């Protein structure tokens, strides 16, 4: 019976193509699907917020804390930390990790694989922290839920780990895009903060994912422009010196925020329940007088830009909201910080604008301009992500007139936070190993490709002792390597160059001293190149292979294919030389 042709479209073929560094069409398909998945999740999350607001908040508005009585809005954060603490209490410390820092940690040290329990925790904590009146945003949940869901799709399909990295970036970008309708800022944030690299192969699928995330969100909620700023302009270049001074102050605030938020190690001595109670009590105390510090605060930011807030409220939001958010994080409550940081930055900028109007009444730009510059400067300084902050400024305001002063404000604030306050990016500061692994050029390059793209496939398996006829049969297929199995458990332990066996057989016969009484040849006794082997799975990246070679002190790795022990087979061998050759020539032009 004639053999049927293998279908051109198959999952195995798709996996093999994704293992390569230039699998752009396949990655774009994943980006498209990732955007749809993340967009759908963000729609569900926002609908859940609205449903909760209809039950607990007047008017069904998840930011309408001002309509509550002082006692109610003061007690609400205590209820929120109680619910969050009760959930986290029963989890192991690893299960409590959520948000953007968790995404970066899983991408860096776990090849983009996410635990399911943390994903469900993110739903619960994300909803309760916003509806419960804590100073929290929805960006962290958006990024974690999207990145983990897209990575879960890749894990379900058993895709190589280099594609999981791209899926995490796609989920990140689509989450930001679907939450704020800022697709370009979502892409830049994913590449600048999460991936920490810019490549064409990474950009295109992430752009597709961000686009589809925005499309899904806009199809449900319509087009939203929360901070309309069209027509506002700097007016006079004489504002630039004051913008520099304002950005300097905002950079100091950003540095203070990072330092307070990262003081959690000192607070670990305080009992778990007391820490949570302190955080809820501080938020509730401030909310008694200033409910604007609660929740996401985007309505407050809109009023700030519109010039509708009094001076004391601006001070409460600029300093109070910033500090209570940092203190909440330091107490171990995993709330999203980007929204509160942007809102506080807008209030701080408005204060600078009001002061500038007093100093230069005829030339100073209005407080609205400084508010918009302040939110970008604060975001860029806290995250150390200047491009993402600038793109967010442009997309949230639709005002290109703010790009020039925005660039100056973002750079000055970022330098101030980094150099004067000694603060790295908020999320990078969670690492404990000096230079972040994603910032190392070697590990970045090796993470872009999986082992099937580099491994040597021409091999045969053999027992340690074979007859001369069996040795000749091994060479019929002209393999490069002969993988020698251990007699005890049939697991490979060494690899022999097939050319060395062929050379020995040409120079010796059955009378040689290496032939035992039973006429068998010991392959381990043949002079030649032999490699100590350790296993690695087919989905691994070259960075995983490189680390495994070092930790196992092996010369090479045999690549296993299959999940059940009885179904596992060897797909190839990857040597240290093959990895080094890939890294040396990966950027060289073809030919």
Give residue 560's pLDDT band: very low, low, confident or very high (50, 70, 90): confident
Rounded percentage of the chain residues whose pLDDT exceeds 70:
91
Q: What is the DSSP string of 159-227?
A: --HHHHHHHHHHHHHHHHHHHHS-HHHHHHHIIIIII----HHHHHHHHHHHHHHHHHHHHHH----TT
Least confident window among 12-26, 230-244, 559-573: 559-573
Cβ atoms of 454 and 410 within 8 Å: the answer is: no
pLDDT digits (tens, 9 = 90+) for 479-492: 998 888 765 555 66
Confidence grade of residue 369 (pLDDT, cut at 50, 70, 90): very high
d(CA 59, CA 330): 33
pLDDT of 436 strictly over 60:
no
How high does pLDDT run on average in the chain? 87
Q: How far apart are CA 98 and CA 143, in angstroms?
A: 10
Confidence class for position 443, pLDDT limits 50, 70, 90: confident
**CA-closest candidate to residue 484, choices 462, 453, 507:** 462
Calculate mean pLDDT across residues 10-26: 82
Confidence of residue 43 (pLDDT cuts 50, 70, 90): very high
Residue 447 has a pLDDT of: 81
Handedness of CA 79, 81, 84, 86 (dihedral sign): negative
User: Would you give the end-to-end CA distance of the chain in angstroms?
Assistant: 43
Distance CA 561, CA 571 (A): 6
With residue 158 as reference, give the H or E element that holds it. Answer: none
Mean pLDDT of 535-552: 88
For residue 567, pLDDT over 80 is answered with no
459 phi and psi, to 5 degrees? -150, 165
Render pLDDT for 243-300 as a digit per residue (tens, 0 to 9): 999 999 999 999 999 999 988 888 888 999 999 999 999 999 999 999 999 999 999 9
Residue 199, pLDDT above cutoff 90? no
Q: What is the pLDDT of residue 433?
A: 45
Question: pLDDT class for 441, splitting at 50, 70, 90?
Answer: low
Percent of the chain whose predicted confidence (pLDDT) is above 90? 50
Compute the average pLDDT of residues 392-413: 92
Backbone angles phi, psi at 181, to 5 degrees: 60, 45
Q: What's the confidence (pLDDT) of residue 486?
A: 65
Give yes or no for residue 435 having a pLDDT over 80.
Answer: no
Range 313-322 average pLDDT: 97
Q: With the CA atoms of 375, 378, 381 and 382 taken in that order, what torsion angle do they form, in degrees rounded to the nearest 10?
A: -120
Geometric angle at alpha carbon 522, from 491 and 476, rounded to 5°: 80
pLDDT over 70 (residue 8): no
CA distance 343 to 336: 13
Between residues 535 and 444, the one the model is more confident about: 535
Distance CA 530, CA 383 (A): 49
What pLDDT sits at residue 123?
96
Which pLDDT does position 492 carry in this prediction? 64
Q: How many angstroms separate the CA atoms of 574 and 559, rounded?
A: 7
Quick: pLDDT tens for 61-104. 899 999 999 999 999 999 999 999 999 999 988 899 999 999 99
At 102-129, the pLDDT tens digits run 999 898 888 889 999 999 999 999 999 9
pLDDT for 341-368, tens place per residue?
999 999 999 999 999 888 877 777 889 9
Question: Do 306 and 92 form a contact (C-beta atoms < 8 A)?
Answer: no
Q: What pLDDT is attached to residue 438?
A: 52
As a whole number, mean pLDDT of residues 385-413 equals 92
* Joined tokens for residue 276: 């949570």
Over residues 463-471, the mean pLDDT reads: 87
Identify which has the larger pLDDT, 469 or 514: 469
Is the model more confident about 170 or about 569? 170
A 10 A CB-CB count for 539 gives 25
Q: How confident is the model at residue 591 (pLDDT cuts 50, 70, 90)?
A: very low
Q: Tell me, what's the pLDDT at 227?
A: 65
Mean pLDDT for the stretch of residues 436-446: 65
Which segments of 28-129 are extended strands (E)?
A: none
pLDDT on residue 1: 41
What is the pLDDT, as a whole number, of residue 417?
96
Regarding predicted confidence, which is higher, 186 or 508?
A: 186
Averaged pLDDT for residues 327-338: 94
Distance of CA 406 to the CA centre of its chain: 26
Residue 431 has pLDDT above 60, yes or no: no
């Amino acid at each position: 019976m004639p053999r049927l042709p293998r279908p051109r479209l198959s999952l195995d073929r798709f996996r093999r193509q994704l293992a390569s560094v230039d699998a752009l069409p396949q990655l774009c398909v994943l980006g498209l699907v990732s955007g749809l998945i993340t967009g759908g999740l963000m729609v569900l999350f926002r609908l859940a917020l609205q449903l909760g607001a209809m039950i607990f908040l007047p008017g069904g508005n998840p930011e309408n804390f001002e309509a509550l009585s002082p006692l109610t809005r003061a007690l609400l954060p205590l209820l929120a930390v109680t619910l969050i603490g009760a959930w986290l209490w029963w989890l192991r410390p690893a299960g409590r990790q959520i948000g953007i820092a968790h995404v970066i940690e899983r991408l860096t040290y776990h090849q983009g694989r996410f635990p399911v329990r943390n994903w469900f925790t993110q739903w619960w904590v994300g909803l309760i922290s916003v509806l419960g009146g804590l100073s929290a945003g929805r960006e962290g949940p958006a990024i974690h839920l999207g990145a983990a869901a897209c990575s879960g799709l890749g894990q379900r399909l058993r895709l190589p780990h280099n594609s999981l990295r791209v899926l995490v970036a796609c989920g990140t970008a689509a989450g930001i895009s679907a939450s704020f309708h800022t697709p370009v800022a979502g892409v830049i944030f994913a590449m600048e903060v999460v991936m920490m690299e810019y490549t064409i192969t990474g950009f295109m699928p992430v752009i597709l994912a961000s686009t589809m995330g925005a499309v899904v969100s806009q199809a449900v909620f319509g087009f939203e422009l929360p901070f309309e700023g069209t027509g506002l302009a700097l007016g006079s270049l004489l504002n630039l010196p004051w913008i520099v001074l304002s950005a300097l102050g905002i950079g100091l605030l950003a540095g203070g925020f990072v330092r307070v938020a990262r003081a959690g190690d000192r607070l670990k001595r305080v009992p778990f329940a007391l820490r949570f109670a302190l955080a809820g009590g501080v938020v509730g105390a401030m909310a008694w007088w200033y409910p604007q510090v609660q929740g996401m605060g985007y309505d407050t930011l809109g009023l700030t830009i519109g010039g509708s807030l009094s001076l004391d409220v601006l001070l409460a939001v600029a300093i109070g909201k910033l500090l209570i958010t940092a203190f909440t994080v330091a107490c171990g409550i995993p709330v999203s910080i980007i929204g509160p940081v942007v809102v506080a930055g807008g209030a701080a900028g408005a204060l600078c604008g009001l002061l500038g109007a007093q100093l230069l009444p005829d030339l100073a730009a209005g407080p609205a301009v400084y508010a918009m510059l302040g939110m970008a400067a604060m975001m860029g300084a806290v995250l150390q992500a200047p491009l993402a902050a600038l793109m967010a400024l442009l997309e949230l305001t639709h005002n290109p007139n703010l790009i020039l002063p925005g660039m100056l404000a973002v750079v000055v604030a970022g330098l101030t936070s980094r150099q004067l306050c000694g603060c790295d990016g908020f999320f990078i500061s969670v690492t404990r190993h000096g230079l972040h692994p994603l910032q190392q050029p070697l590990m970045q390059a090796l993470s872009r490709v999986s082992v099937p793209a580099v491994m040597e496939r021409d091999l045969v398996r053999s027992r340690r002792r074979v007859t001369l006829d069996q040795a000749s049969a091994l060479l019929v297929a002209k393999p490069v390597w002969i993988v020698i199995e251990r007699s005890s458990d049939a697991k490979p332990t060494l690899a022999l160059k097939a050319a060395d066996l062929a050379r020995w057989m040409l120079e010796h016969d059955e009378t040689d001293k290496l032939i035992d009484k039973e006429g068998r040849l010991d392959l381990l006794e043949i002079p030649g190149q032999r490699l100590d082997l350790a296993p690695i799975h087919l989905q691994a990246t070259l960075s995983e292979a490189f680390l495994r070679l070092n930790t196992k002190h092996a010369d090479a790795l045999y690549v296993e294919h299959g999940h059940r022990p009885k179904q596992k087979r060897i797909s190839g061998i990857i040597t240290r030389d093959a990895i080094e050759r890939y890294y040396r020539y990966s950027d060289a032009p073809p030919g």
